[in-house]
Amino acid sequence: MKSDIILLGHGSGGKLSHQLLDDVIIPRLSGVAQKDQNDAAVLTSPGGRLAFTTDSYVVDPIFFAGGNIGDLAVNGTVNDLAMAGARPLYLSVGLILEEGLPISELEQVLDSMKAAAAAADVRIVTGDTKVVPRGKGDRIFINTAGIGTFEHDREILGSGARPGDRILVSGTLGDHGMAVLAGREGLELQSPIESDSAPLNFMVADLLSELGDALHVLRDPTRGGVATTLKEIALQSDVDLTLEETQLPVSDAVRGACAILGLDPLFVANEGKLLAFVAPQQSEAALQIMRRHPAGRQAAIIGEVTGQSAGKVFLRTAIGGLRSIEMLAGEQLPRIC
């Protein structure tokens, strides 16, 4: 679907987002090929390789169960650096504040950013603040950029998946997206759902040091969820993937809320989960490494790379059928990060 104007779906992380990037933005700014589009750019410097990334946060509401826009902005950029295999070190913070925002709410957001940076062992070293007139913003938007270094010589790219690789996810699907939706819509759920926003850099450091060359791809399934992220990796690596529906970890609360609202947890955003593609002989070891960390205790092997091809993703259903998985076509849940 082509559009002459920007739609909310262009921010979904799905098919429309890719069209906007590939057809409008990237050709004019950088020319990076689709296969080279990863969570962070890898740069060469006199002191060695650097990872560099940036992201903007417009989540609504700014406070939700399990977090707020502040820790979300820090964790998101830390995780983008970690998914490139880098050690996150330094962040910048850009604040766009709307006239009328209570100072107490800004202080709460900043305190959360400070705590999140300390938990991830990164430093916030520079930033900028702008204020826009009342009605010209939405309380607060945050941009964060980050720099990390590499303590190994391996390349962890979206194009690295290989036939036979096992696909692991570090925990339950859809918690962040459903927590934000519940807060926005005032849904009273029988079992509360909290965002999974968390730093993953320490888990990644252990995977890198203990798995060595058996670790091929890392990616955090944020906008568009696990389904869209796996489709991106399949296209970048020219492989087919098959997921096992019975192995997908989904909490009862998220499963129930998705069923009521007609949503698929595979397409709901996560902010504290990662996907890893690992050589089959090391997949059980990878699972145990993830489960040592608080954010990985419900890690699972959810599928495998079934062959070299043009980037198809299938879900083997609980009754044995095969369902084709495509990128999120529109906007299922806007402004979840």
pLDDT value of residue 299: 98
- Give the dihedral sign, CA 206/208/213/219: positive
Q: What is the pLDDT of residues 151-177, one digit of tens each?
A: 999 999 999 999 999 999 999 999 999
Q: What is the pLDDT of residues 179-229, one digit of tens each?
A: 999 999 888 888 889 999 999 999 999 999 999 999 999 999 999 999 999
pLDDT value of residue 313: 97
Q: Which two tokens stand for residue 246?
A: 């019975």
CB contact set of 182 (below 8 Å; sequence gap of 6+): 64, 65, 189, 192, 193, 257
- Does the pLDDT at position 331 exceed 80? no
How far is residue 106's CA from residue 112's CA, in Å, rounded to a whole number?
10
pTM score, two decimals? 0.94
- Give the dihedral sign, CA 134/135/136/140: positive
Q: What is the rounded average pLDDT of the residues 133-147?
A: 96
Q: What is the rounded average pLDDT of the residues 235-249?
A: 97
Q: What is the pLDDT of residues 206-216, one digit of tens each?
A: 999 999 999 99
CB contact set of 47 (below 8 Å; sequence gap of 6+): none
Structural domains present in the chain: 8-149 (3.30.1330.10), 165-325 (3.90.650.10)
